[in-house]
Structure 1
Amino acid sequence: MEEIMGYVHSHESFGTVDGPGIRYIVFLQGCPLRCRYCHNADTWEKNNAKYRETPEQTFKEICKYKNFIQSGGVTLTGGEPLMQPDYVRELLKLCKKDGLHTAVDTSGYFLNDKVKEALEYTDLVLLDIKCIDPETHKSLTRVELDPVLKFAQYLKEIGKKTWIRHVIVPGITDNDEYLNKLADYVKTLDNVEKVELLPYHTLGEYKWDNIGEHYSLKGVAPLSKERLENAREIFRKRGLTIQ
């Protein structure tokens, strides 16, 4: 049998924003989306991975920090981790066997038998819904919305604990019509524990320059506190837990 290898961008040993508690974060290389605000554009191309690792090699690195992450866990993000479902499955299986909480941060673009197997070892899914309007979603990410909604419905069907993540971009997703529609949709997902509304920022803009790509949102100001609070109130009115 061919050895499973992961295409890995980087590791972070002390993550605090990608799931509950202090977490070890593995950033995987490769993503089918091209989000206009992406702050990890250097993870897009799978073959640009800095590291090639087996699940066992990655787990060995994780174990060095077990005392620090015991009350948190391990999160796989990217890029899009579910582009590499075999590696994700085997790494999360090792983590679960060792009693570590597992999370996957995903766009929800892929759903097949291998992805479903990987989700069996995932305690929490951080599902990024980029925009609830199909046309805006396509112009924002270059991919269709429908696969994401099918993924969300599958998570609901299997009762998988989920946090919804949504980036609010001035002039694009900072739109009350879209925000209300998204809040109504999330309200139908009884497996969702909370919603993370993330204000647009420009911290990853320099990475676009580094890979020779044009950053089309250049000049767009970060989201104001007032508009972020407006979005939070829209979701609170549905009784949703907001972060």
Structure 2
Amino acid sequence: MKALHLGEIGSVHSWDRTTDADGPGMRLVLRLSGCPLRCQYCSGPDAWLMRDGSMHTIDATMARIERDASVLLASGGGLTISGGEPLLQPAFTAAVLRGAKEIGLHTALDTSGYLGRRATDAMLDDTDLVLLDVKSGLPDIYHTVTGRDLAPTLEFARRLAERGMRVWARFVVVPGLTDAWDNVAAVGEHLAALENVERVEVLPFAQSGREVWHSLGTEYRLELTEEPDGGLLERVRTQLRASALTVV
């Protein structure tokens, strides 16, 4: 536990590679285990618990990153730390971000912002881009979706704005859960009040995580929820564009 607290080791769920999906260029995505939210539409509930991850030392983690560093640098890409929720392991996350910056990589932090107070100024100094997952705009719907409160995410978003940090916001459209007109409008109002949000990614809910829920024996409330069609996605994008946001 002391090593975890100091950031000498971390609980890792998995590694992945993406292109332009988790930040600019080719990304090496380090997905950490552990999350305080219980989002109904989560595609990876197997990453909720830290104890289910694989323990990695900071040295082993950096060795893995360094193997891909030349390719990432050549593509204009870098490292993205995701989860779960990386701020549940703040010391380890900070150490990896620092190590990535020392070898010249672009860094991105994918977070709900709920644990934003755990992000030190030093950690944010080593973060080039924040991928901010805005689950909902209205407090009651946010609580229904995640089991938690919206306020900490908004507080963290304002802090990022005060620092002038680059933010790409993300919003998942779930029919019957997050797609209500007033909820989308609230998301737009929150983000439009911040001058540092470069773009908003409107993401469609997908049933890709259904089998993971089943394998864990966890109640899956969205069993019968359909994936959003193009018309609904465009309505949400149009709403957000009306708030003078760049929407993709």
TM-score interval, smaller chain: over 0.9
Partner of 1:165: 170
Q: What TM-score do the two structures reach when normalised by structure 2?
A: 0.93
2:41 is the alignment partner of 1:25: no
Q: Structure 2 CA distance, aligned partners of 1:115 and 1:7? A: 20
The percentage of aligned residue pairs carrying the same residue is 38
Of residues 52, 72, 76 in structure 2, which corresponds to 1:48? 52
Secondary structure at the aligned position of 2:17 is classed as: strand
User: Which residue identity does 2:37 align to in structure 1?
Assistant: L
TM-superposed CA distance for 1:69, in Å, is 1.2
Question: Does structure 1 conserve the Cα–Cα contact (< 8 Å) formed by 2:17 and 2:29?
Answer: yes
Contact 1:56/1:91 (CA < 8 Å) preserved in 2? no
Question: Cα RMSD over matched residues?
Answer: 1.4
Q: How many residues align?
A: 242
Say if 1:67 and 1:53 are closer, same or farther in 2 by CA, change over 3 A.
same
Alpha-carbon deviation of 1:204? 0.9
Asked if 1 retains the 8 angstrom alpha-carbon contact of 2:90 and 2:118, the reply is no
SS in 1 for 2:116: coil
- Classify the secondary structure of the residue corresponding to 2:225: coil
Bigger helix fraction: 2
Q: In the alignment, what sits opposite 1:179?
A: 184
SS at match of 1:12: strand
Aligned-pair distance for 1:211? 1.2
Change (3 A) 1:108 1:42: same
**Distance (Å, rounded) in 1 between the aligned partners of 2:79 and 2:31:** 11
TM-score of the aligned structures, taking structure 1 as reference length: 0.95
2:72 corresponds to which of 69, 81, 84:
69
Q: Distance in 1 between matches of 2:220 and 2:233?
A: 23
Following superposition, the deviation at residue 92 of structure 1 comes to 0.7
Runs of 5+ unmatched residues, structure 1: none
**Corresponding position of 1:78:** 83
Runs of 5+ consecutive residues of structure 2 not aligned to the other structure: none
Quickly say closer, same or farther: Cα 1:168–1:90, change in 2 above 3 A: same
Q: For the residues of structure 2 that align with 1:131 and 1:16, how far apart are their CA atoms?
A: 24
SS at match of 1:220: coil
